[in-house]
Structure 1
Amino acid sequence: MADASVKGNMEQPSYIVDVEHLDFSKRRASHHEHETTHDAAEKGHVVTDKYGNALIEIDRAVETKLRHKIDLYVVPTVVLLYLFCFIDRTNIGNARLAGFEKDLGLKGYDYNTILSIFYISYILCELPGTMLCKYVGPGWFIPSCSLGFGITTVAFAFVRTKEQACAVRFLLGIFEAPMLPGIAYYLSRWYRRSELAFRLAMYIACASFAGAFGGLLASGILRLSHFGSTKRWEMIFAIEGIITIILSLISFLTLTDRPETARWLSQEEKDLAVARIKSERIATTEVLDKIDKKKMIGGILSPVTMMTSVIFLLTTITVQGVAFFAPTIVRTIYPKEPVVTQQLYTVPPYIVGALSCVLFNYLSTKIDRRNILMIICLPFVMVGYITFLATTNSQARYGATFIIAFGIYTFGALLNSQLSANVISDTARSGAIGIGVFFCNVGGLISTWSFLPFDGPSYPIGNGLNLATSAVSFAVAIGLEFWMKIDNKRREELDIDSVLVGMSEKGIQDLDWKHPGFRWKP
């Protein structure tokens, strides 16, 4: 039996891990009370004291083994689904180079309008979709949404008018809306606060991998003479949509709602998976509470949620602008190159963005910090857009796309992780992530109008807008860093006993981030 010291109040019970049997030890207290650690995972048991200190001690080797098993079964599926989710969203940029606008007779702002339609339905369905994901269960809901946008992507191969394109993109927005917040919320059911950013990065990095892989895939597809009855840009949507459909059908078999329902975990592993999450959530008796309006609104209106959501909105203008218009920007830099070569030029910056996303979020896991890493990344984005505005040299402008991608693609995972870390209950977390991604997609809608036809070929308005949004994000992130530290110091001076006196267990749980023992996690 591994040995461990009692954490928190000495009168409180402590848990340690039986390394040999992958089980918690018996509960030890001054009264010699004994209880298996299965109880720590059950409803009605709090595993933190009123100061937020964990009352269980988990053997690191055992927990690491469990975490690696969860990584193997959970992460690959959501990574592949989100990869093709983002490809299906942004492949219209690749289709544009292959004659999409000409075939549909698009003029003026028609292309921007088609992009915007997607975000209207996306924004409208964002928060309701996240709540529905919690209600139905991610194991069924996420694959269903993925199947929906796979079918819709195939349908886009057969549009022939602007109106048809708008209608199909509107449907695509409905199915894709819950994917980003839904997967982030789903992963938060499995991982500790410090572990989450890196796992989020593994699938959010797909936003940049999608740009790289989408460009490669599109260039490969365009080498075909036809695919069934589809030709040229039509093949991009048909083939990529079919791949998404196949992955979605497989994911119905591989995804499971939560640790308690995972067929690939033993009962002891299920208990450990639940208890280790509870150990980070003050006054929590159950990891998955029922949908509670008060908790949901509290999660949405948290000061950290609001400020983080503002950063989400501003940085998404750049992320989505790069995704939708990178092929167009490359074409203005290398106008004499053939279409396939232009597609390939879009690939390297995305690879750099994906690697930086994984790198910075791995660092976040190690130091359990998020906000300071955002502050470090934003100057890279600013330098990139200053370069775009300052020169027309092709090599310098192409180099700037690498600098921008290096800084901006870290944000999806860091922001979602920060939203998750700064609330307590499952419902508050779904609300915080949902509203954060709602703001994110308002930024996406704005991005569809950031690079306009009359602004080319240098696009000073679009580049100036992105420089401004990154500068404002930088200021907001710095302000949020100082505010969290100041408020944590204020909380340390509170008399927790006097604040909680006379309150019921439910009343204490309903406090969520307002609990005096809670501390912001920047």
Structure 2
Amino acid sequence: MSEKKEVPHDMQEVVESTPSSRGSLKGDVVPDGYGFDEKRTKSLLRKMDINIVPFLSLLYLLSFLDRTNIGNARLVNLEESLGMTGIDYNVALAIFFPFYVAAEVPSNIMLKRTSASFWFSLIMVLWAISTTLMGLVKTYPQLLAVRAILGFWEGGLFPGINFYLTTWYRRHECGLRMAIFFSAATAAGAFGGLIARGVSEMKGVGGLMGWSWIFILEGIVTFFVSIWAYFQIHDKPETARFLTQEERNEVRRRLKDDRHHLANEWNMKYVWQALQDWKIWCHMLITFGMYSCLYSISLFLPTIIKTMGYKNNDAQLMTVPPYVVGCISTIGGGFLADRYKQRGLFFIGYCLMAMLGFTLLISSDIVGVQYAGTFLATSGIYANVPGGVAWNGNNIGGTTKRAIGIGLHASAGNLGGIVSSFLFLSYQSPRYFQGFGALIGLSSMSCFLSILMTIYLRRENARRDAYAAANGLPKPEDYTDEMREAEREKGDYATFFRYTV
């Protein structure tokens, strides 16, 4: 420490600010009002959970329901009504995703520059109208056009909610909350089957087919919730009506301490930092594999179960149990990953579970074995979607870089929706060997890359610890505000930043 020449030039401003000249955050006496005790912190988190997470879950439930209800409509004569043949249905699925992906990063930029209540409610109104119009189409080209528009307006919700949660919760608190809100996707799958079973009986009402009413009723519900969203969503802790001023200050303090005082302002250089970070690109590939599996399940599960020998109405109902188990798996995985502060190991484990599920589906013609495979596949895939977002988001320093990184993460994943749209073609029925084989390959790719990422992050944390010890730098928790401020623009490359593994 006494000789600066032993320290790299870009580290000198950190070394010059030693704990001996300024009190450390850990070692000093904490002033009055600096941080809640454990009991008050739990009370604060409970209040935030009640006022934030359930409503976000409702929004995502409606989003996932509105994009995947076409799978239920297919079992209620959608294709026959619109004269669809061959791969027309697959094209109708695929056209949603390019527009969805195109909207994700720009939407997160708009969210960063406007407000959550305004932006979320606006895109909801527009996709609600699109969903309703899907029930009124008379031709196949009209269906394609409306599906494309629906994808564009829905694109901003998933990456937006994930980023929004990081502006309220600390890094190791996000995983469970992301899992809870994403579990709404499994609920959407379960509700979709139940709703479709009931609504299909409305055939002839208003001169419309049963599949038309699936779209119309779900679109109307989304519209009313979108109006409610404008008044229900709290933009940021500083303006949250459900918090006292003391609680607002504590939320800001906790986030500042957890995010290491890294830069929060908008600046294009943080956008370039995100685009040049290879770790984000690796997560994009991991997510591509997972989402390809996710959309294959969500779009084709009714069809897959029907080919096991169930009739249309029974197939709708038989989709419910796998989604219920998947919901439990998703929430349970998020809770345990947060508790043990381990994301990579859980991600790898769920990949293996999904791979086993797809193997059962492709290797056996016994209905019971195949149906068991749907439980394993659904549980593994759905749990890994919020787990992957939390893992990636935890390791991106600075809110602007994180907003872009999460947007890129979701964009790459949803490109998998295009792939999944063509994995289960009608001529492959009833066994779909090519489709299940592709899903085994994609989930294996995600598993392999997640193993490499886990190994790298562990080694990088160890390298930073060794570097700090060799150069007389303090432990990350002992950095002073001034020392952290000196590296605020370095993001996750700051010397005090440690990755979530």
Same fold (TM over 0.5): yes
> Alignment partner for residue 12 of structure 1, among 23, 34, 43?
23
Larger relative contact order (C-alpha < 8 A, sep ≥ 6)?
2
8 A contact 2:260–2:484 mirrored in 1: no
Structure 1 partner of 2:499: 520
Deviates more, 1:417-426 or 1:301-310: 301-310
Matched, 1:316 2:291: yes
Q: Output the CA distance in 2 between the equivalents of 1:194 and 1:382.
A: 27
Q: Does 2:422 align with 1:467?
A: no
Match of 2:307 in 1: 332
> Is the contact made by 1:14 and 1:57 (CA closer than 8 Å) also made in structure 2?
no
| Partner AA of 1:368 in structure 2 | K
Residue in 1 aligned with 2:337?
364
**Deviation sequence 1:408-436 (CA, Å, 0-9, x none):** 11011101111211022111110111110
Q: Aligned partners of 1:302 and 1:261: how far apart in 2?
A: 33
Check if 1:150 corresponds to 2:128: yes
Deviation at 1:405, TM superposition (A): 1.0
Distance 1:451 1:245 in 2: 32
The residue aligned with 1:23 is none
1:26-105 pair list within 5 angstroms: 57-105=35-83
- Which of 285, 304, 314 aligns to 2:279? It is 304
Equivalent runs, 1:157-196 vs 2, <5 Å: 157-196=135-174
Q: Quote the offset at 1:254 in angstroms.
A: 0.6
* 1:440 paired to 2:403: no
Which of 138, 141, 161 in structure 1 is aligned with 2:116? 138
Cα 1:406–1:498 shift into 2, 3 Å? closer
* Matching residue of 2:361: 388
- 2:300–2:424 Cα contact (<8 Å) kept: yes
Distance 2:260 2:267 in 1: 17
Matched AA of 1:67: L
Matched, 1:401 2:380: no
1:222 counterpart residue number? 200
Partner of 2:428: 455
Bigger proportion of residues as helix:
2
Preserved contact between residue 344 and residue 450 of structure 2 (Cα < 8 Å): yes
**CA shift at 1:267, angstroms?**
0.8
Partners of 2:342 and 2:466 lie apart in 1 by 23
Change (3 A) 1:15 1:301: same
- Aligned CA-pair RMSD: 2.3
Shift of 1:226: 4.8
- Distance in 2 (CA, whole Å) between partners of 1:504 and 1:236 is 57
C-alpha distance in 2, partners of 1:225/1:156?
16
Report matched runs for 1:491-502 at 5 Å.
491-495=464-468
Alpha-carbon deviations, 1:440-486, whole Å to 9, x = none? 11111111111112222111000000001111111111111111111
Q: In 1, Cα distance between the equivalents of 2:19 and 2:425?
A: 62
The residue type paired with residue 391 of structure 1 is S
Would the aligned equivalents of 1:88 and 1:237 in 2 still touch at CA under 8 Å? yes
Q: Which amino acid aligns with 2:499?
A: W
Using the alignment, how far apart are the partners of 2:341 and 2:275 within structure 1? 23
Q: Are residues 1:210 and 2:188 paired?
A: yes
CA 1:151 to 1:229, structure 2 compared with 1: closer, same or farther past 3 Å? farther
Partner of residue 197, structure 1: 175
TM-score w.r.t. structure 1 length?
0.87
| 2:86 pairs with 1:108 | yes
Query: Which residue type is aligned with residue 511 of structure 1?
Result: K
Matched residue of 1:223: which SS?
A: helix
Q: Indicate which of 420, 423, 428 corresponds to 2:393.
A: 420
> Judging changes above 3 Å, is the alpha-carbon distance between structure 1 residues 505 and 468 closer, same or farther for their aligned structure 2 residues?
closer
Per the TM alignment, residue 255 of structure 1 is displaced from its structure 2 partner at its CA by 0.3
- On the 8 A contact 1:416/1:436 being kept in 2, the answer is yes
Cα pair 1:90 1:323 within 8 Å, conserved: yes
Structure 1 residues not aligned, in runs of 5+ = 1-7, 17-26, 38-55
TM-aligned CA deviation for residue 302 of structure 1:
2.8
Secondary structure of 1:271's partner?
helix
| Shift in Å, 1:297 | 2.5
Q: How many residues align?
A: 475
Q: Which runs of 4+ in 1 moved over 4 A?
A: 13-16, 225-229, 495-500, 503-507
Distance 1:369 1:301, change over 3 A: farther
Q: Distance in 1 between matches of 2:24 and 2:455?
A: 36
1:307-342: per-residue Cα shift (whole Å, max 9, x none)? 22211110111110000011111111125x2x2211
Instruction: Give the conservation status (yes or no) of the 8 Å contact 1:297–1:431.
Output: no
CA distance in 2, matches of 1:484, 1:426: 21
Q: 2:347 matched to 1:374?
A: yes
Distance 1:217 1:474 in 2: 35
Matched residue type, 2:292? I
